[in-house]
A and B are shown apart, each in its own frame.
Chain A
């Protein structure tokens, strides 16, 4: 029997009022098809709700999708909410309509990766896989 590989659990969340959920759902399905267990929160969640769900679901990474332009306040708010929930170690990835000049600022604010339209989905899946593996090794 082949050695059983660990199944990665991730959460895809949409904070704030942005209703563009195509990308989030697309990503959730793509990750499922790549072997991930994907918890989806639906649209219009507060950062605190997303953090609480990430903790209860014991995910190895959180992905946030925003196309409305509110990423500069909402992405860091989720990072902070995770810290407040005692889960500041869970990596946060982000994507959506995000101007290039914001990407470095987001990374400084604790978002580990940021991807914008046109990114091949394989690249995004690889980023989630690597984030999960790192987190699972650290967490043991």
Chain B
């Protein structure tokens, strides 16, 4: 496909054009700039970005499938970015989230894209932000980003999403302990999935008590929802919780604050990404003696008199 074809495809919501556009951005193709500058900012600003995160096997993909169906009933065009980790050894990845969403495969208004992290930590791939913009620009007014989140360090999703839901399920005990301090603090909605399984009630009570620590006012606290994704139970309540959070974020200005922060952070990351090669080039060609502490060498490399990192 030529660049005009891809740009036209994007405008016309042609599935192949959208898919090629995401790939070209993911591969840092020279066409990426042209694609990204052709996007519709107003649509990007209006879309609702919902992050769904949690440990493997909690039911994120099954839940995503159900949430898609509900938004389709409301007439919304839905985009999904399903992120799975790349193998650090081979660089390959098994992208299996789509298996649970194949029921929507023939619906032209459901665009599912599987992406691998490609070596990036934090559970989100570098191109997810761009993919989100491309999907929004192609008319998706709801965009769901599914990521594996198991530890405190995996908080990237929060930065890019307007609303973050953390999915837990009974029987994943240790993971939940590890997450308490991290993701639980920033999740807007705590979903206890597999409510049909033993231990769900206790987990939900645990979540309620954690949510209560989040604030004295009801509206500042994370909402707790119980679902049986495999049977489609509790999804209406989940959508209601999403709507409540969204309305309150819009009213308080939280939605705008998050968007602005996410935007600036993405700019910072791309800026760092862009200056990195020139620094690598300097290190590779620099005739230094590899003596002394590397951080002192770094200052010298950049022509600074001393190491000053935070000011």
Contact = CB atoms under 8 A, between A and B. Distances in A.
A48 interface: yes
B111 interface: yes
B95 interface: yes
Interface in B22-48: 22-23, 27
Interface stretch (B113-121, B288-296, B302-310): B113-121
Interface in A77-128: 85-87
Contacts of A87: 16
Say whether chain A's binding surface is mostly helix, strand, loop, or mixed.
mixed
Given A6-B27, A35-B92, A38-B95, A139 B106 contact: no
B234 interface: no
A33 B86 CA distance: 10
A41 interface: yes
Nearest to A49: B105
A62 to B, nearest CB: 14
Contacts of A86: 14, 16
B91 interface: yes
Interface in A1-25: 1, 6-7, 9
Contacts, number: 91
Given A1-B277, A49-B102, A32 B93 contact: yes
14 contacts: A1-B280, A32-B90, A32-B93, A33-B89, A33-B90, A35-B90, A35-B92, A38-B92, A39-B98, A45-B105, A49-B105, A49-B106, A58-B23, A87-B16
A139 B17 CA distance: 12
Most buried by A among B94, B95, B96: B94
B56 interface: no
A35 B92 CA distance: 4
Contacts of B106: 48-49, 52
Contacts of A64: none
A45 B90 contact: no
B102 A41 contact: yes
Contacts of A40: 94-96, 98-99
A1 to B, nearest CB: 6
A55 B95 contact: no
Given A41-B102, A49-B102, A87-B16, A34 B95 contact: no
Contacts of B111: 56
Nearest to A44: B102
Contacts of B18: 56
A37 B19 contact: no
A29 interface: yes
Contacts of A49: 102, 105-106
